[in-house]
Every structure is written in structure tokens, then in C-alpha cells.
Chains A and B, each alone.
Chain A
């Protein structure tokens, strides 16, 4: 049913720390690895070993420059489904294949009933949905619904593949509907924000901004000017001393 369920108390989602992310693409790679055998797998690849290689990924890591000069920052930015609270990708679906789970808010696609019209991808401002041109149906991040509730894997591993693989701990998974959860506290402490809030989709996933840099130490002119001791060549250093007398 593509009508949205009533707002649920539980809102599972990700919190992504842009201060810590090093842009290694491990989250995207492990996402592809897990999900090609997971709930929405396989994820197709075309021309995988030649020019023009492309395929379906649920997570893609962009890198940006923000700000100018000394204030400028390089920021690595993983982009995936934000499991919005009011996702148009669900309500535009003509078949009911695109749905938001009432129990935890995860947005999923039923690939058995999807007709591959692509309208949900047009309706998503974030580019979270990609058409599987092999199968003719839409695919998207499942928040690793097949890991987080999976009782056949050890409990510490019941997290999305992108979270568990991040080498710097920049990705956090939890219930953003519970204000006392670790992720909600993190969002409150670090000023976590929504992407494109003006679109009104109310994303569940939050991004933590890069921390502010400590103020630059002011260099005095004297400090900046070279002294005789900066001259490495002993002959020239002696010459400098002789001329300075």
C-alpha cells in the first residue's frame, strides 16, 4: 500500500559523521557486497571489466570542497536513502511496490510487484533509488533489513553493512525516534541536520557537520621572517653572519 503508515514511534536510521569520514568508500563497497546477495540482490553490473562499467549501488561517496581559503574544507559525503518520514517515492508508486514499514519506518521496494516505471526515482530528491536494468525493477537501500533483525548472525553484527565496515566509526545506526538513544544524543550534541530540509520530505537519517577548526595561531612578522639559522649550507651561513656584522 503506497499510502503512508501513521507516524511510528520507532524510526530506524543512520547518523553519518562528516567530520570523521575519510572518503575510503568502504561503506559503499561493503554495501554492494552484502546487498548483492541480500534482500534486494543481485545488484547488477554492466561492462564490469571494461570501459563504461556501471551498476546499481545503494550508497555512493561524493567529495566536496566547502568554504574558501583557510576556512576551506574537503568533506567526504556518503549518500544513500534517508528513509524519509514523508517519502514521495512511496506515495507516487502506482502499484504499492514501494512502501514504508509501519513498525520501524524502513522504506523498501517489493521487487515482485514493481513495474519499473521509475516514477519513485523521479520523486526522490536525493537520488537514492536506482533502476536495475537487468531485472526491470527499482532497487534501493534496505537499511540492511536482512542483517539488523537477523538472528543467525552474532548480535554485534546486527547492524547495516556500511556501519559495521566503517574503519573510522563515522557511521552510526539506531532508533532516531527514541530521544534517549545513542544516535539521538549524538545528533543533539553535534547539531545533526537534514539534507534539503526545504523539500519537506523529513529525512530520518542525519548528518553531523564537520567540527569547527581551532582558530589559526597568529604568526607575527618576526616569526615568519627567516633567521640565519634557517640557512642549511654552512658556508652560506658563515657568509650571512659575516655580512650581518
Chain B
């Protein structure tokens, strides 16, 4: 599948933004973050900036962005529509949470913090389900995929929250969370790659089942329907070189590992010094996420390529 930059940026930025909103809303509701309004508002603004930048970027992927509002109508059947609805609804508690921080209204902070956190989870889950519900893309049609979106968002969000909380000397809880989630992200990604690298089951779609010519015997393409490219091949026939894939996988895991180690290294350090470890931890986590998201697309194959190349 073609790793469109607009979508790679969208899922990385919005994922991290919702992760930050989740931890901020949840931890602040229970008084587990710095209680200074300056901290809360800075973190909230960063979360909403990341979310909004990602959502705007996703509009660039549309052929007719001016009609995007229509995507809110089919939430009964479409995960993409549900994602849009959830994304917009989440702004309501997030902004009221901000109002609570501004006015120092503890009840508003607690209720809206929890609601905003729930909205972040629902939206990210919908994003993951858009991909996981697509049967023709075997690497996406995996139960691990939506959990991955949640885990990676929570990981980046915890890393960002830790970096922001460091100047207030209260970074330890989010730093521990970031380290735990970083370890989880490494384990999940490895399990995911094991699953998609495993030999395809015998009943998986093949050129024989796609054409029905398996009844005659082994089938292979002879003449293509067109000698030039088409949109299908550019969109769904994207292939990443095997050597690059291996390197990019190592880069992803390496980035997750460095962010995890930096988050742990910050634990014994006092406020400002911890920030020196936690800022790069957040930056490395986000950079590794960009690579992971690019690979998530580049490694995915679509059954339409069975018709063209016999492989999918």
C-alpha cells in the first residue's frame, strides 16, 4: 500500500496527540500531574495542536476535501465515519477540560478529563479499526492492529507528558508509563512482524482463487491488461525493498528502545536535568513512530496485485 505522507503524518501526530490528551485528562483528573494551570494548559494546547494538525493533514489525502463534512454521516457502518464523529466529539470535553484548568474548577477538570481521555481512546480505536477491517489487506486485517494504534498513541503521549512535566519536577509517573509502554510497543511490533511474516495459510487468497483457474493448475500472469501504470498499481501495488524493510524495522525498534531507556534514565534526575533526557525521549519516540507508520503501509499488500503479479 502506498504510504501517503498525509496519512503517515496524520496517524503519527493525531495518535501522539490523543495519547497525550488521554494521559493528561486521566492523570490530572486524579491529581497525578502538576496542578499548575500553566502545565495543564501547555500540555492541552500541545495535544490539541497535534490532533488538529493530524486531522487537517488527513484532509489532504481526500480528492474533495471541501466535502469532508459528509464523512460524519455513515457512523452506523463505516469506521472512517466513526473516527470523524469521535474526533469532533472529543474536542468538547477537551475544551471544557481546558476551561476547568483556566478557572480552577476541580469538578469540571475531573469529569471532563476522564471524558476527554475516553474520547481519545475511542477515536484512536476507530482509526485502528479502519485498517483492521479491510479484508483485502492481510497485513492490516489482524487483531493486533487496533491495539497497536492504542499502544503506540499511549506510548508517544506518555513520553510527551513526561517531557512537559519535567520542569515541574513531576515527570516520574509519566516517564515510568512511557518506559512500560515503550517495552510493550517493542513486544507488540515484534509479534506483529512474526505474524505477517509467517507463511500464508492454505486458504488465503491466491492468483488461483482470484482467477478461479486453479482448477486447471498453477496460474501465472502472461499479458498485463495495460503496459503503463494505473492508479490501482500506484495506490495498492507499492513495494518496499526487502533490504530497506529490514533496516527500517531495526530503526523502529531502535527508536522505541532508545526512548524507553531515556525515560528510565530520567527517573533519578531532578526536574530540569530530567527534561534533558525526556525531551529527546519524546522526539525519538515520535520519529520512530513516523518510520513505523510508513512501514505499516509499505509492508502491506493488497489482493488486487494477485491479478497483476500473481503475488499479494
Residues of A within 8 A of B (CB): 1-3, 18, 23, 25, 28, 51-57, 60-68, 71-75, 77, 79, 88, 90-97, 113-119, 121-127, 130-133, 135-138, 193-200, 207, 209-210
Flag if B307 contacts A62 (CB, 8 Å).
Answer: yes
**B70 contacts the other chain (Cβ, under 8 Å)?**
yes
Secondary structure of the A contact surface, majority rule: loop
Q: Which 7 A-B pairs have the closest CB atoms?
A: A116-B63, A136-B63, A67-B217, A127-B304, A60-B225, A94-B81, A94-B71
B62/A91 in contact, CB under 8 A? no
Q: Which residue of B is nearest A75, CB measured? A: B213
Partner of A94, one of B65, B78, B217: B78
Question: What mask results when residues 70 to 82 of chain B are scored 1 for a CB within 8 Å of chain A, else 0?
Answer: 1111101111110
- What are 23 A-to-B residue pairs whose CB atoms are below 8 Å? A2-B74, A61-B225, A64-B219, A65-B219, A67-B218, A68-B217, A71-B216, A79-B225, A88-B134, A92-B79, A94-B71, A95-B81, A97-B70, A114-B67, A125-B303, A131-B63, A136-B64, A193-B212, A195-B211, A197-B209, A198-B203, A198-B209, A209-B212
A115 close to B71 (CB less than 8 A): yes
Contacts of A61 in B (CB 8 A): 225
For residue A132, give the distance in angstroms from its CB to the closest CB of chain B. 8
Distance in angstroms from A134 CB to nearest chain B CB is 9
Interface pair A73/B225, CB less than 8 Å apart: no
If A130-B230, A130-B231 touch, whether A66 touches B209 (CB-CB below 8 Å) is no
User: How far apart are the CA atoms of A64 and B211 in the complex, in Å?
Assistant: 9
**A24–chain B nearest beta-carbon distance, Å:** 12
Of A56, A77, A138, chain B has the most CB atoms within 10 Å of the CB of A77
Taken residue by residue from 293 to 312, chain B's Cβ proximity to chain A (1 for < 8 Å, 0 otherwise) reads as 00000000011100110000
| Interface: B40 (CB within 8 A) | no
Interface positions of B from 209 to 245, Cβ below 8 Å from A? 209-226, 228-232, 235-236
Given contacts A122-B1, A195-B209, 9 further A-B contacts (CB under 8 A): A2-B78, A52-B229, A55-B230, A71-B216, A75-B216, A91-B78, A96-B74, A200-B135, A210-B213
Do A114 and B63 contact each other (CB < 8 Å), given the known contacts A60-B226, A95-B73? yes
Contact A117 B61, beta carbon cutoff 8 Å: yes
Q: Quick one: which of B65, B78, B207, B211 has the most chain A CB within 10 A?
A: B78
- Expressed in whole angstroms, the Cα–Cα distance for A18 and B215 within the complex equals 13
Residues of B within 8 A of A1 (CB): 74
Question: Across the interface, which residues of A come within 8 angstroms of B99, CB to CB?
Answer: none
Enumerate chain A residues within 8 angstroms of B78, measured Cβ to Cβ: 2, 91-94, 119
With contacts A94-B84, A95-B71, A136-B64 taken as known, whether A75 is within 8 angstroms of B211 at the C-beta atoms is yes
Residue of B nearest to A74 (CB): B222
**Complex Cα gap A132–B63 (Å):** 9
**Which A residues are CB-close (under 8 A) to B205?**
125, 196, 198-199
> Are the C-beta atoms of A117 and B71 separated by less than 8 Å?
yes
B63 touches A127 (CB 8 A): no
Flag whether B136 is at the interface (Cβ < 8 A): yes
Q: Are A196 and B209 in contact (CB under 8 A)?
A: yes
B133 within 8 A of A: yes
Q: Please give me the residue from chain B that is nearest to A194 by CB atom.
A: B212
Q: A88 CA to B214 CA in the complex, in Å? A: 25
- Report whether B210 and A196 are in contact in the complex, using a CB–CB cutoff of 8 Å: yes
**Residue-wise interface mask of B (38-79) relative to A, using a CB-CB cutoff of 8 A (1 in contact, 0 not):** 000000000000000000000001111101101111101111
Which residues of chain A are within 8 angstroms of B76 by Cβ–Cβ distance?
A: 2-3
Q: Judging by beta carbons under 8 Å apart, are B64 and A66 in contact?
A: no
Residues of the A chain whose Cβ atoms lie less than 8 Å from the Cβ of B65? 115
Give the contacting residue for B217; candidates A72, A194, A195; CB below 8 A: A72
Is A195 a contact partner of B225 (Cβ separation < 8 A)?
Answer: no
Complex CA gap A222/B239 in Å reads 55
